[in-house]
Structure 1
Amino acid sequence: MTEHSATAAAPSTPTAVTLASLVAIPGLHLTVLAGGEQLGRPVRWVHTSELDDPVPFLEGGELLLTTGLKLGRGKEKLRRYVHRLADAGVAGLGIGVGLSYDEVPAALVEAAAERELPLLEVPQPTPFIAISKAVTAALAAEQYQAVTTSFEAQEELTRAALGKDGTAALVRRLAARLGGWAALYDASGTVLVAAPDWAARRARALRPEVERLRSRPAPSSAALQNEQKDQDYVVLQSLGADRRARGFLAVGTEDRLTPTERYVLNAAVALLTLTLERSRDLRRSAERMRTALLRLVLAGETATARAVAEPLLGGLPEGPVRVLLAEGEPLDFLGDVAEQSATRSGEPVLLAPEGDRLVLLALDGGRVHTDCVAAAQDLEGLFVGISAPTTPEAAGAGYTQAERALAVALRSGRRTVDHDEVGTGSMLPLLADEAVLAFADALLRPLREHDLTARGDLEASLQAWLSHHGQWDAAAADLGVHRHTLRYRMRRVEELLGRSLDDTDVRMELWLALRARGKG
């Protein structure tokens, strides 16, 4: 047994070769002296060293072989040696007898048992190189099997993807290959396919994790660790090649994925991404067509739009419909929600980008309408104005309503505003707008400057007079002055403002200005 170093595989290469499989090889004649319950440990490679401290040259997972040339028989020294190896994460320790030791020292056996470190006795007829060769051969066989299995799985998944059921068949084959479950989500996080069928509920429960993954550029992945024995191990993967997630794939297994299973999963991710990206150009063409049709509808050319849409899109949304106008981020996501909802429900929908806005025409109360409103409620930074129910022929007017509702949403910070809601509230909160306050300040400044430098409360008198709808006696009594005094003050108001109080529009503007400044 001459000293040498050998590695059966690169340290980064996972392996299923274990100490138990080595012990089971009859020609090696290995004897287990301690740590027998840990023989299932994988062996990443074999290393031989006669150093009394080989730890600086170890990375973990090794089967370390030594004759103990420099170890001696001191109990404490042997104990420290074993503890250093255990702390370094070696898979096991093999002691060659017949040179330094006629038999393995009891101190080594005791220390190995204490740390549950597998300790193997290597008889003199067995050269260390024979153990290295055995591990090398086992690793090679394991790697060959992994490659063969991976290629077979890739061919199987490819055939499934090209078959009649397409992605659904691929997801089913992936679940079968992994011996677990798999689920495919669309870009909004809705489960499209789950296999087996019972996995749909498990997949829906992962929606929060899918939402978190969606915030990261695609492709990205996340692993959910099994913290309890009755839970599975889950891997989530976003699907997309241009940083925009077009879908998500989740797989769940009883144990962590092996290297071969990871290769199979990566093959499935590549095929699904290719399928999604391959249809992207078709989707873009459809988007341009819907954009053109929506612009025709909004311009009042409904008959032309209907004639074009019938053979291409199955027709226009037929009334009652709603116009939705969105602004903010992420507009792309809201567009995806509308498209996917239309696909699932079979509802026709028109949508078009408009600068930093998105316009949609959808059935009133339909799936697209309700899904887009729900999505907007969950998206911070996105605001949607919604028209009253209308017809495609009157969609231009509906767009104006949606624009007004969007302005209210942006001003108030509300995520969605229906046009019907705009007329049911009060105008007074709108007076807090900076532009309104600036107008009110400029309009009333002559009265305020007069009251600061001369007698006569013109601003307060104007407020009282307007509050009593121009009734002199009631307003004068409220102020505690004679009605002639109030008439004089109102003439001064007209002189200073250069406006007639007989003009209804002037009275309205003055009243709103007073309310804006908190005087009404």
Structure 2
Amino acid sequence: MRPTLASIVHHSALKLTVRAGEDRLDVPVRWAHVSELADPVPYMEGGELLLITALQLDAEDPDVMRRYVKRLVGAGVVGLGFAVGVNYDEIPKALVDAAEEEGLPLLEVPRRTPFLAISKAVSAAIAADQYRAVTAGFAAQRELTKQALNDGPEGLLSALAGQVDGWAALYDASGAVVATAPEWAGRRAARITPDVERLRERPAPASSVVGGEDRVELHSLGTGRRPRAALAVGTAAALGTAERYAVHSAIALLTLTTERSRSLHAAEQRIGAAVLRMLLAGQPEHARTVAGDLYGELLDAPFRLILAESASASAARAHADGLTHGARPTARSGGGRPRDHSGDDRLRPGQGL
């Protein structure tokens, strides 16, 4: 997690002392910034520990300090560090009172502690937090990959739900729920189906955040313009850096799985069509060679192929035969004409291509 004011105060080398807002030291510190401007707010982004010597401030004027502190709090500044022994030997009471009134943590910085040391301490803590997040993210990626290889999408979803301390759901191209983890998340996943359908209408890759009893992130899956699936991740709060790594890894793995499954299905269809053509042509041995283990023992048993044509197809065939041989086509009645391609082989009951 990010460094907090408490962790900075407890840094033994800095020797900081809390003068106000002691009950609000658990806030994260985004950065440490030095500014002597009377109004530094235009240059703040929020989350800063502001360091000052009051070079251009009348820190003993209560009205000036109240306005100054109120502006800082409004800009999202999380703490104020005041260096003593530079312009003031101690922090003026007007500033202490204003900080207490607004609930802004006020830290006394001793003269022997340069602002640079505080900035370096904050920077080092942020870098260490980022390193931990990246390391945790790579560990999550390895775990998700292992689960995907061993247990498929269901295993991946289970591992992802554990990584984010929430739940995860996979949807197919129609928006229907395919799998969830844990199992109790099925109803929550079904409730956001309309949001998944809206996501499908956007060009991939697309994502959105859905509110409700959970914070749910939706991500489209697939490499084409139209999503082939979608992933939902529900958590109680916004994802941290490590959790974000885990979600992006899951998106990549599920996209790969989705595209691979589609390619395999298309390949199986092409093989099935080729095998059927060989059987119709009376080449069962070639069909067995091409099919390999795809159909198990189906082609190893005696078989019989029976094809049925509809009345319209039968009439069209008769008409074509009549034109070919110069004869009048004869009309046939009934629901269809069975064509029996029999041989020495016979299809066992319950088997078929």
In the superposition, the TM-score normalised over structure 1's length comes to 0.52
Query: C-alpha separation between the residues in 2 aligned to 1:189 and 1:129?
Result: 54
Pick from 303, 308, 318 the counterpart of residue 393 of structure 1.
308
- After superposition, the Cα gap between the structure-2 partners of 1:166 and 1:396, relative to the gap in structure 1 and judged at 3 Å, is farther
- After superposition, the Cα gap between the structure-2 partners of 1:313 and 1:216, relative to the gap in structure 1 and judged at 3 Å, is farther
Instruction: Please list the CA deviations of residues 409-461 of structure 1 after superposition, one character each: whole Å capped at 9, or x if unmatched.
Output: xxxxxxxxxxxxxxxxxxxxxxxxxxxxxxxxxxxxxxxxxxxxxxxxxxxxx
Secondary structure at 2:254 match in 1: helix
Instruction: Please list the CA deviations of residues 272-309 of structure 1 after superposition, one character each: whole Å capped at 9, or x if unmatched.
Output: 11111223332333455788999x9xxxxx978xx98x
Query: C-alpha separation between the residues in 2 aligned to 1:201 and 1:182?
Result: 12
- After superposition, the Cα gap between the structure-2 partners of 1:116 and 1:141, relative to the gap in structure 1 and judged at 3 Å, is same
Which stretch of the first structure deviates more once superposed, 53-62 or 243-252? 53-62
1:163-202 alignment to 2 at 5 Å? Answer: 163=150, 165-202=151-188
Query: C-alpha separation between the residues in 2 aligned to 1:274 and 1:395?
Result: 41
Q: Does 1:237 align with 2:237?
A: no
The one-letter code matched in structure 1 to 2:182 is P
- After superposition, the Cα gap between the structure-2 partners of 1:125 and 1:181, relative to the gap in structure 1 and judged at 3 Å, is same
Partner in structure 2 of residue 278 of structure 1? 260
- After superposition, the Cα gap between the structure-2 partners of 1:395 and 1:217, relative to the gap in structure 1 and judged at 3 Å, is farther
**Which structure's CA Rg is the greater one?**
1
- After superposition, the Cα gap between the structure-2 partners of 1:288 and 1:122, relative to the gap in structure 1 and judged at 3 Å, is same
Query: C-alpha separation between the residues in 2 aligned to 1:151 and 1:238?
Result: 22
Q: Does 1:87 align with 2:74?
A: yes
Question: Which of the pair has the greater relative contact order for Cα pairs under 8 Å at 6+ separation?
Answer: 2
Secondary structure at 2:126 match in 1: helix
Count of aligned residue pairs for this structure pair = 296
Shift of 1:84: 2.0
Query: C-alpha separation between the residues in 2 aligned to 1:120 and 1:106?
Result: 13
The one-letter code matched in structure 2 to 1:136 is S
1:229-378 alignment to 2 at 5 Å? Answer: 231-286=213-268
Query: C-alpha separation between the residues in 1 aligned to 2:210 and 2:234?
Result: 9
Secondary structure at 2:99 match in 1: helix
Unaligned runs of 5+ in 1: 1-14, 297-301, 315-390, 399-520
Secondary structure at 1:28 match in 2: coil
Query: C-alpha separation between the residues in 2 aligned to 1:112 and 1:233?
Result: 34
1:410-421 alignment to 2 at 5 Å? Answer: none
Q: Does 1:143 align with 2:130?
A: yes
- After superposition, the Cα gap between the structure-2 partners of 1:251 and 1:395, relative to the gap in structure 1 and judged at 3 Å, is farther
The one-letter code matched in structure 1 to 2:50 is L
Pick from 23, 47, 62 the counterpart of residue 61 of structure 1.
47
Query: Percent same amino acid among aligned pairs?
Result: 55
More helix by share: 1
Partner in structure 1 of residue 11 of structure 2? 25
The one-letter code matched in structure 2 to 1:126 is T
Q: Does 1:34 align with 2:20?
A: yes
What is the root-mean-square deviation in Å for CA atoms of aligned residues?
Answer: 3.0
8 A Cα contact 2:138 2:245, kept in partner: no
Unaligned runs of 5+ in 2: 297-305, 314-353
Runs of 4+ in structure 1 off by over 4 angstroms are: 286-294, 311-314, 394-398
1:196-211 alignment to 2 at 5 Å? Answer: 196-211=182-197
8 A Cα contact 2:36 2:56, kept in partner: yes
